[in-house]
A and B are shown apart, each in its own frame.
Chain A
Amino acid sequence: MNGLHGIIFSYEKRNEMQELGQIRSAASIPFGGRYRAVDFALSSLVNAGCTDVGIVLHGHYQSLLDHLGTGKAWDLSRKRGGLRMLPPFNYQQSWGAMPFRGHMEALAGVRSYLDTIRQDYVALMDGDLVANLPLGDIFESHVKSGADITAVCGNDSFATDDGTYFEISDGRVTEVLYNLHRPRGYRGLEVYIVSTKLLKEMVDECTAKDQYSWRRDVLQARKDELYLRSYIWSGFAAQMRSVKEYYDRSMQLLDPAIRAELFTPARPVRAKGDDKSSTYVGPEGVCVNSLVAEGCRIEGVVENSILFAGVNVAKGAVVRDSVLFKGTEIQGGAKLAYVICDKDVKVQENRTLMGHATYPIVVAKGSIV
């Protein structure tokens, strides 16, 4: 127990994930061949010595519950603390049935849980962020700085759908912006460190005024009154909010430098194991510039692609620039380019699916093409 508590938000929000986002919350979107987005937040927390993590859930969370189980894979299955699932249990008005309108409403929905937090500080994180953050350092510098809230910001040219942007001067947040037509400032990663005491005060205050938005009613409204500090993270940080963003960010993993940074042995990204056998590449199989998980069978051609566990690419099939989720089956003679196949998709013989780098095609879970 090191004084930092984790809260991960995983509830439905406006996004452009098409079929990928209809059946699951963004936190359980598969990424990088064997991970779910939430694995990165959980690993960042656990690698920072965090022992207690609550996950705020609402809507389509079956997939996430299946994935997390007891939290064993992250050493979060504990007698005291560990992983806590937080569906909306403090019903008020229509919170049970309607999606949360913002983080403050979501926190109000689990208000009694906040009172059980044993740690003095809380890291608030969005479940749709893929980044291997040095949360231990971020936490330490937050405490040292005496800031009220530290906002972690990305430092790359990527924009994200419905992103929050910060203007920063001398490490201090001077402006909080969103709904920007043309993004400016630093992209917020929606990771914040705040003291448990202040967080509870703010939740109660917002509830009393029927305010639900963290960025509008807390960050924007109180930026002059509170000390809002920024922490700039220059490493890989992807927010899974549109198909295009998902695709571009996935393809970045084929770059060895990005993999080396995201999967640094100093902060291992933990994920649930798969009980699959080794991947087999057949005598005529070709597999180049690709990431391949366990239990695949590759008899055809695979190029510039990411294959999750148990993918089957038959002889004569050609898969290029695509992301194939767990259990995808590509039959002989089929041709795919710029396609994202959700779980258990079957593409039958001699079918052709062609997207483009600017418009990858999504095939919904379980579809037969």
Chain B
Amino acid sequence: MKKECIAMLLAGGQGSRLYVLTGDMAKPAVPFGGKYRIIDFPLSNCTNSGIDTVGVLTQYRPLELNSYIGSGLPWDLDGSTGGVHILPPYMGSKGGTWYKGTANAIYQNIGFIDLYDPEYVVILSGDHIYKMDYSDMVKRHKEAGAACTISVMEVPWEEAPRFGIMSVNGEDMITEFAEKPKEPKSNLASMGIYVFSWKTLRQYLTDDEANPESENDFGKNIIPTMLGDGQRMAAYRFAGYWKDVGTLDSLWDANMDMLSPTSGLDLTDDSWPIYARSVNAPPAFLGGDAKVTHSAINRGSILEGTVENSVLSSNVTVGAGARVSYSVLLPGTVVEPGAVVEYAILGEGCRVGRDCRVGGSPEADSADTWGGLTVLAPGCRLEDGREVRPGIMLGKNAEEVSK
């Protein structure tokens, strides 16, 4: 089945910088924005961009991600030709290996891609929150006659050293690439989204695999080698909202961005819907004394207390007299009456007992004693009255874990 363009989604990230929050799941399966998981963003972007064939490369703790993706129905990716396919590492007759790097993961699935004999392959990662029309990027790739097109966005100069930085010429063709440069020559950062002409990429992947020195990584090996060989490399400028949610702080920030219209993250736009596999539960109920302000809420929740500046997922309970401020509560969290939760991320199925105090606010703490976000692992249960200081992270048995 010939396809012009297919997407390969790198979803193998361990999410080690999300620490206990990932629990038993891969990073792309982490809940976001009340009703989504991170992977909903690239999958929905694919569907909205007219890409109907997506390979999802998984390797760490894939159970939750696999069951979440299922047949691909929520994203319209369950077509009879194409659709979404989970691609774990596999054993062949000559043995098999773990995915060694991003490029190796694609290399090991050359067979899958060849099934569709595509002209172009879009490489995506599963840890970014953004809305992007990949078909527009493919158009840019074709018009530039490029072998590879990399989407880039302008970042503040002082943040440039944290990114892979592209230098471009007057036609926005890439002339130089530097991974996390100390002295950046440009502020165009790579977003980790690539379009390749498949014939060219196939050859580079094969050569890269044959090179024992290589780390088999797109950013470290494939891109620099192609650039060195004088391949035409185009930049595709992106100006909308984009956030890597690989850390606890950035995940919290992105959730808060969803609440504020000025952040640029608008999930209510019907022309570019973000799809999700939704849970089945009755609508949220807000009790007679509930005070919910500047917050997102979802189905199955029962809210009797105060909720402010927070993002609440489905099936959350906030008891009478409890207060939740500046926090992100993942599905099934229970905050018992009288408890206070501030500046925290509570993992799936946490229970905060009566009159507990979890976290604190930066205003109440002085700058040097403020410990940061408080985080509870999925399934963590706090006994009544327990106090958890700002910046503390608790594992699933409510034991303290260091960041």
Chain A contacts to B: CB under 8 angstroms: 32-34, 72, 254, 256, 259, 263, 268-271, 273-295, 297, 306-307
Contact = CB atoms under 8 A, between A and B. Distances in A.
A32 B299 CA distance: 12
A292 B283 contact: yes
Given A273-B74, A278-B298, A288 B282 contact: no
A363 B57 CA distance: 51
Interface residues of B, number: 37
A256 B285 CA distance: 9
Contacts of B292: 281, 285, 287
A333 to B, nearest CB: 20
A291 B282 contact: yes
Contacts of A271: 280
A291 B290 contact: no
7 shortest interchain CB distances as A-B pairs: A278-B34, A33-B283, A278-B296, A277-B267, A273-B278, A293-B283, A289-B288
Main secondary structure of the interface of A (DSSP, over half): loop
Given A275-B273, A277-B268, A278-B35, 20 more contacts: A259-B285, A263-B281, A263-B282, A275-B275, A275-B276, A277-B274, A278-B297, A279-B284, A279-B298, A280-B259, A281-B292, A286-B291, A291-B282, A292-B285, A292-B297, A293-B283, A293-B284, A293-B299, A294-B298, A306-B283
B311 interface: yes
Contact of A34 (B267, B283, B287, B297): B283
B283 A291 contact: yes
Nearest to A276: B268
Nearest to A254: B285
A281 B34 contact: no
Contact of B293 (A72, A270, A276, A284): A284
Contacts of B283: 32-34, 291-294, 306-307
A295 B284 contact: no
Nearest to B311: A278
A259 to B, nearest CB: 7
Contact of A288 (B73, B259, B280, B289): B289
Nearest to A294: B299
Interface in B258-277: 258-259, 267-268, 273-276
Nearest to B296: A278
Contacts of B278: 273-274
B72 interface: no
Interface string B54-96: 0000000000000000000110000000000000000000000
